Chains A and B, each alone.
Chain A
C-alpha cells in the first residue's frame, strides 16, 4: 500500500530524511517513532506530496506516486498535529465537514457526516460553531473530516496529543475500528504507550534514518538487554531479595508487595532455576510471569543509549 525506496530529503546542507525504505502492506497499523527533528514530519509530508523528495521513490496503491495526481489524494485521509480551525471558526461543525465533503465529492454527505459525528459522540454539537470547540472536540472533528471520503490510507500525526484519557480511548477505539474495516493506518506519535496498544508494526527514526523496524513484540525483544521475571509468593522474607541477587544470572531483585521482581539477562530461560531455588527455601511460587520492556523504555534506550547498535541492526537488515 505504501512503499518508499531510498527516500532522501535535504534542506540545504541538512539532511532531514536519509534513505528511508518503508514497506507497509494493506490493512496494517504502522507507527513511526522518533524524537523531535528525527525526520518524521518530513517523511509524512513527502508521502502526502506536500514536500518534494530530494531523492528516492514513493509508491502508493502499487504505483509510483505523482503528487500532481489529485485523484490519488481522494484515497488518503490526514489528521495533522495542528489544525488551522481558527480559519473556519465562524462555521458550524456541519458546515465545516460539508465543505470537505463537497471537496471530496462525498455521496450522501448528510448521512455520512451524521454517522461519523455520532461515532465520535459529537452529534449534539453538529450545529455548534467550531470556534467554541475544545481541543479534544477539534481533534475528533479532524478525525471525522479525514474519514469523510472513506480513504484507503489514514495518516495520523500525533492523533492523541493533548487529549484527556476518555478522548484518548475514544480515538484509540476509532483507529482500531477503522483498521478492522481494512484501512491502512500510518501513525506518527511520541505517546509510546499508546502506540504500543495500537500499532502492528513500528519503525524508529533518528537523524533521518530508520534505526529499527519490526513487529512490536520482536522490536521490544530486540531492544531490551534484560527482562523482568515477576514471581508471586504468599509472603517475601526480608532477606530473600539479597539471596536471589547472589544467583549468578540475576542482575537485580526487589520485593514489591508479595511479588518478587527479578531482573535477568534477555537471553535464556531462568524460570526453572528460580522455581527450584525458591522451593529449596520452602517458598511456593504462586505464579511466574515474564515482563517485556515497555516501548517507552525501549524508546529511551534507542534515543539515548543504543543509537549506534540500532544503526548497525538497521544496516544488517
Chain B
C-alpha cells in the first residue's frame, strides 16, 4: 500500500477515536437531534384544514420568515412541500458539520504549531498524510451522523405517519458530498495559514462567501446583497460546493436525474481539486512549526 495512504489510515483511526471520546461530538449530535425534534413537532402543530402553514407555529413562523427573507417564498414552500424532514435534516446536520469542520481546522493548525505533524513527518508520512487523515475522519463521522439522523427521522416519520419524501432521500447522499467539499476547504484554510485563529477565520469567511453566492441564486434578494452576490458568483461561483448542491437539488425537484448526478460528480471533482491544492501548499510551506 502507498505509504502516504497507509499513514493517513493509521492517523485517521486515532483521530476518529479521539473525536468520539470527546464530549463535544455528543453535544453537537444532541443539539442536532433536539433541533430535529423541535422542527418535527412544530410541523405537526402547523397543519390546519388547508394544509401546512408555517405561520401557525411560533418556531416555524420564525424560521419560515427568516428563510422567506433570505431565499423567497417559493423556495420555502418547496422546502415544506414534502413535510418537515428536508429542512429538519439540513438544520439537524449543521451542529455536527460545524463541530467537525471547525474542530479539524483548529486541530490541524494546532498540531502544526506544536510540532505534532513534524514529528509524524519524521516517519513514513508527510503533511498530506496528516490532512488526509483529518479528512477521512470527518467523512467517517459525517456518515455516522447522517446514519443517526436518517434513523431518527425514519422513526419520526413512521410515528407521525408522514412520508420522508424523495427530496429528503436524495439529500442524504447530497449532504455527504457537499459537506466533504466544505471539509476540503477547511483543510485548505488550515494548510494555507500559520495559526488556528487565522485558519478558522479564513474557513468561516469561505463558508460565508459561498452562502452569499447561494443567496444570490434566489431572485428575491435585492440591493447591496444582490449586487455583491452577482459579483461573487461571476468571479467564483464555480468554486462553491453550495452552488452544486443547489444544482443537484433543483435536478431532484424538476425530476432531472442528470442534474443531480452532475452536481454530485462536480462536487467530487471539486473536493479532489481542493485537496490537491492543499497538497501543493503543504509541499511548498512544509510542516515545520
Contact = CB atoms under 8 A, between A and B. Distances in A.
Interface of A: 45, 48, 50-52, 70-71, 73-74, 76, 78, 80, 82-84, 86-88, 90-91, 99-100, 102-105, 149
A82 B115 contact: yes
Contacts of B123: 73-74, 100, 103-104, 149
Given A50-B286, A51-B286, A70 B111 contact: no
A304 B286 CA distance: 35
Best-buried of B111, B122, B286 by chain A (most CB within 10 Å): B122
Nearest to B288: A50
A78 B110 CA distance: 21
A84 B21 contact: no
11 contacts: A50-B287, A51-B286, A71-B3, A71-B124, A74-B124, A80-B119, A84-B114, A84-B116, A87-B110, A87-B111, A104-B124
A90 B115 contact: no
Given A70-B7, A70-B126, 9 more contacts: A48-B122, A50-B122, A78-B122, A80-B115, A80-B119, A83-B115, A84-B115, A84-B119, A103-B123
B10 interface: yes
A103 B286 contact: no
Given A70-B124, A73-B124, A84-B111, A50 B118 contact: yes
Contact of B121 (A50, A83, A91): A50
Interface string B271-287: 00000000000000011
Interface in B106-155: 110-111, 114-116, 118-126
Best-buried of B4, B21, B114 by chain A (most CB within 10 Å): B114
Given A70-B4, A86-B114, A51 B122 contact: no
Nearest to A100: B123
A118 B244 CA distance: 57
A99 B110 CA distance: 19
Contacts of B124: 70-71, 73-74, 103-105
B10 A102 contact: yes
B14 interface: yes
A121 to B, nearest CB: 23
Contacts of B10: 99, 102-103
A90 B18 contact: yes
A184 B3 CA distance: 24
Contacts of A51: 286, 288
Contacts of A80: 115, 118-119, 122
B6 interface: yes
A73 B122 contact: yes
A246 to B, nearest CB: 60
Interface of B: 3-4, 6-7, 10-11, 14, 18, 21, 110-111, 114-116, 118-126, 286-288
Contacts, number: 68
A125 B21 CA distance: 22
B262 to A, nearest CB: 36
Given A50-B288, A84-B111, A70 B119 contact: no
Nearest to A67: B126
A86 B107 CA distance: 12
Nearest to B120: A103
B119 A83 contact: yes
Contacts of A90: 18, 21
A80 B116 CA distance: 11
A68 to B, nearest CB: 8
A62 to B, nearest CB: 20
Contacts of B114: 84, 86-87
Best-buried of A52, A87, A105 by chain B (most CB within 10 Å): A87
Contacts of A48: 122
Contacts of A99: 10-11, 14
A141 to B, nearest CB: 12
Contacts of B120: 103
A29 to B, nearest CB: 19
Nearest to A146: B122
A90 B17 CA distance: 11
Nearest to B283: A68
B189 to A, nearest CB: 20
Contacts of B125: 70, 73, 103
Nearest to B114: A84
Q: Top 9 A-B pairs ranked by shortest CB distance?
A: A78-B122, A84-B116, A70-B3, A84-B114, A70-B124, A87-B116, A102-B10, A84-B115, A73-B124
Nearest to B118: A50
A106 to B, nearest CB: 11
Nearest to B6: A105
A84 B120 CA distance: 10
A51 B10 CA distance: 24
B3 A45 contact: no
A45 B4 CA distance: 20
B287 to A, nearest CB: 7
A149 B123 CA distance: 10
Contacts of A76: 122
Nearest to B113: A84
B127 to A, nearest CB: 10
A50 B125 CA distance: 11
